[in-house]
Amino acid sequence: MKKAILLLIGLIFASGQTFADTRATALLLHNGQGKSFDADQLQQAVDEAVAGDAIYLSEGTFQPGAKDTLLLDKAVSLIGAGGDLTKVVRNIYIAIDGNPTLEDFRISGLRVGNILVGKKMRGLKISQCFMNGYFTATDSVTGVEMDRCYMRGFIPTAYVRSAAVSNSCIASIGGMHSDGKNPYYFNSSGCDLSFVNCDIALVSAIYIDSNTCRGGRVHDAIFTNCIVYTIANWNSSQEYNTYINCLLMNEPKTGNVVSNCYIDSKLSVTVDGANSYFPTFRLSKQDATTDLLTSSGYLGTDGTAVGAYGGATPYSLRADGIHVKESVLRVDPETRQLKVTLKVATE
């Protein structure tokens, strides 16, 4: 049950107007003290924070900075109201010095473009985010945990040394960036990649190496209790992935390890291009709901339905922790002070 806490922050500057306005607001919490920032001051909020702080974003749209990319150069958590409610325009670039091992740092409840890790780190946590673009890294990142996210692309470069993804919807794993000029190698051989209770439209085994672009393949990944529509294998490249208790449209090729999987040629996927290629899975022209999967006997090792809506934490973009629900600006006509009322809620 949600518990609402009202925080009243007085911002002192004179005004002769009387109005009330609801707008997107970021709240920086530092040592129990709060400071609010407008939607176009998100980078400023990060710059003023210190490692260990958290910035709570209300519903609405936020502009990261002049270059449309929010730079996180310190372990400052970003927590929105939900991946369908709080939008950060364009991208988040994480580049924290010192090869840190992170514990409390997380990114949650946001709709963003790409999330890119540019410096070595361990322990990145991302939850309930909607990524119009992709997640990848250009320097070694280990211990990535992603839960209840939608991703247009998860690109396992050689730098993504370990990642555990659960209850997420993923349009494509592997492959190359859509501009055809991405300089990263995507061969994840030897990495520790795990996908549990995920809906996946494409697992790419594509490998391309030419003067204009370099591609790659998903290699040595483990898929458990997942729904996988297409496993692409071009240019004679070979996969060595493991599929356990997965619902697949076709039998994976030789070289993969397949254990207790359900092969159903009636599995199909429809794509809503207006919603960033969000895949919708169907069985015999019916949406592959949890009830339909359960009644068809498609159960995972945990006893729940395979896919993102099974498992212990079914797919959901709504925030499950403390978040800023709304903010209201008011001017007191007597004191001539502008005040901000922030309603902070927790599930």
Q: How far apart are CA 162 and CA 268, in angstroms?
A: 30
Q: Is residue 148 within 8 Å of residue 127, measured between CB atoms?
A: yes
In this predicted structure, what is the pLDDT of residue 258? 92
Q: What is the reported pLDDT for 219?
A: 62
Is the pLDDT at 347 greater than 80, yes or no?
no
> Which comes out higher in pLDDT, residue 333 or 5?
333
Q: What is the mean pLDDT of residues 79-104?
A: 92
Q: Considering the domain boundaries, does residue 196 fall inside one?
A: yes
The answer for residues whose C-beta is within 8 angstroms of residue 67's C-beta and 6 or more apart is none
User: Is the domain of 204 the same as that of 299?
Assistant: yes
In a domain, 107, yes or no: no
Q: Are 244 and 221 in contact (CB under 8 A)?
A: no
**Do 148 and 231 lie in a common domain?**
yes
The predicted model gives 332-341 an average pLDDT of 61
Query: Tell me, what's the pLDDT at 1?
Result: 33
Same domain? For 191 and 259 the reply is yes
DSSP 116-185: EE-S-EE--EEES-EEEEEEEESS-EE-EEEES-EEEEE---TTB-EEEEES-EES-BSS--TTS-----
Residues 311 and 325 in one domain: no
pLDDT of 17 strictly over 50: no
Task: For residues 49 and 146, state if they share a domain.
Answer: no
The predicted structure's pLDDT at residue 16: 31
Higher pLDDT, 208 or 174: 174
248 and 340 housed in the same domain: no
Which residues form the domain of 74? 1-91+319-347
Count CB-CB contacts under 10 A for residue 121.
25
Answer yes or no: is 99 within a domain: no
Q: How far apart are CA 94 and CA 106, in angstroms?
A: 11
In this structure, is residue 213 part of a structural domain?
A: yes
Least confident stretch, 18-22, 80-84, 254-258, 279-283: 18-22
In this structure, the answer to whether residues 288 and 162 fall within a common structural domain is yes
Whether residue 177 is found in the same domain as residue 264: yes
Q: What is the pLDDT of residues 255-288, one digit of tens each?
A: 788 999 999 999 998 876 555 567 889 998 899 9
Q: Do residues 159 and 299 share a domain?
A: yes
Report the distance separating Cα 243 and Cα 224, nearest Å.
6
Residue 31 amino acid letter: N
Task: Give a yes or no: residue 22 inside a domain.
Answer: yes
Neighbour tally for 291: CB within 10 Å: 11
210 and 292 belong to one structural domain: yes
In a domain, 233, yes or no: yes
Q: Within this chain, do residues 241 and 269 fall inside the same structural domain, yes or no? A: yes
Q: How far is CA 299 from its chain centroid?
A: 25
Residue 165 confidence (pLDDT): 96
- What does the block give as tokens for 336? 């001539």
Average pLDDT over residues 26-42: 90
Query: Do the beta carbons of residue 132 and residue 112 sit within 8 Å?
Result: yes
pLDDT tens-digit profile of 177-231? Answer: 444 444 344 444 456 889 999 999 988 755 444 433 344 456 678 999 999 998 8
Mean predicted confidence (pLDDT) in 72-83: 94
In a domain, 115, yes or no: no
pLDDT for 319: 75
The pLDDT assigned to 168 comes to: 96
Is 111 inside a domain boundary? no
* Domains identified in the chain, total number: 2
Same domain assignment for residues 74 and 156: no
Quick: pLDDT tens for 129-169.
999 888 988 888 899 999 999 998 888 777 887 899 999 99
Distance CA 100, CA 237 (A): 36
Confidence of residue 46 (pLDDT cuts 50, 70, 90): very high
The model's confidence at residue 252, banded by pLDDT at 50, 70 and 90, is confident
CB 26 within 8 A of CB 37: yes
